[in-house]
Amino acid sequence: MQKKTSEEGTEEAPIEKIPAANKKAVNFLSLIGTNEIKPCLFEESLIAISENGQTIGKFSVSVKMTCYSLDEWEEEDCYLVHATSKVTIDGVPCTTTITGYVTKRLETVEQHTKESVREEIQVDTFSYKCSQLQGLVSESANLLVLRVMARRQVVPENAVFLSFDTEQHICTSTYNTLGFQKQQVGKEEVDVFVIERAVNSVNDIPLNWQFYFLSDGHLSRRVQVGSPVTMVILQMPILIETDEPDPRPVFGKIPLDWEEDMELYSMFLDRKEELQASHATYVRRHPELTALLADFLQLLLLRKPDDVVTFAAEFFAPFSAQNPPCRSFQSSDKPSPFRSHV
């Protein structure tokens, strides 16, 4: 924290130094896709238990899709995160409510935090530049990020994020994994993945929370280090399973013996008879075809050329509609377009 002095010598308000997130944290957030967040959109509820085992309140979280608009014209799809904690400690009711709008890039565009004790509500407003908030994980976004980590069962190592402390100042925060532990949920003992989050307050001691997750991202236990209140679930929820696309079927090649297939062989004979009848009809209707082929074969057998294809091309060339009328063989010394000449 630095203080600025004006030209008149009066001391102005201190300048707050904003920390920065590191590259590992920024990259981690940028690689979280919408497909990963989609199964994290659900509601859950836990009960608050005191140190002596009494139920003293409730903790609930809801995450769903919605639209957010700043100017009532352009809307953006985003996630609406709503969390409420209502507990009674030593006969004093305490309520904390967080409502936030988080984009698909996990950027918080708006968040409201309300804390009340004995119905006394204090509202503070803070504003920061967007350029200062790269790598920020607000309390709203934190609930989504935790669910993604729990489903991956992986926490980024040495990643330093930004967050808000209890006074809504920008500070750093980190996540660490405490591995897997056993937890009794109702009559069932289950494996839970434990994540610890630390928020390094600017003017106070660091705050630490431990989150215990089931395999699908449901929260089974939440503990704030140093707090007498623990949030737990009473019974196993219905776990969310992601639908995986079915593999493309692979059909092996089966050899086809059509002569052995009675249906295919019958179709072949029918088609053969149909073509033979059609060809015979065409020849009857064009008697010049028989005469033309007879002349060609007679001349072919008389000449006996080595290149039958070129001979046939020279013989039938005068019959082409694209060439002017001429005799089949005008001159023996005239160059033929069908033969190559050096």
Q: Is residue 98 located within the same domain as residue 204?
A: yes
In the listed set 179, 211, 232, which residue is the last one of a domain according to the structure? Answer: 232
Does residue 16 fall inside a structural domain?
A: no
pLDDT at 203: 82
Q: What is the total count of domains within the chain?
A: 2
For residue 128, what pLDDT band results from cuts at 50, 70 and 90? confident
The amino acid that residue 342 corresponds to is V
Q: Is residue 89 located within the same domain as residue 207?
A: yes
Q: Is residue 114 located within the same domain as residue 165?
A: yes
Higher local confidence (pLDDT), 68 or 116:
68
List pLDDT tens digits, range 317-332.
Answer: 887 766 655 554 544 4
Please, are residues 289 and 295 in contact by the beta-carbon 8 Å criterion? no
β strands within the chain, DSSP E: 43-49, 55-69, 75-89, 92-103, 108-117, 120-121, 161-164, 170-185, 188-200, 207-213, 219-224, 230-232
Written as six digits, the tokens of 49 are: 């238990």
pLDDT at 168: 80
List pLDDT tens digits, range 74-96.
Answer: 888 999 999 999 999 888 899 99
Q: Which domain holds residue 190?
A: 23-232
List pLDDT tens digits, range 169-195.
Answer: 899 999 999 999 999 998 899 999 999
Does residue 226 fall inside a structural domain?
A: yes
Q: Is residue 214 located within the same domain as residue 269?
A: no
Whole-angstrom distance, CA of residue 252 vs CA of residue 51: 65
List pLDDT tens digits, range 257-291.
Answer: 777 888 888 888 889 999 999 998 998 888 888 88
Does residue 80 fall inside a structural domain?
A: yes
Buried b (16+ CB within 10 A) or exposed e, 171-200: bbbbbbeeeeeebebeeeeeebbbbbbbbb
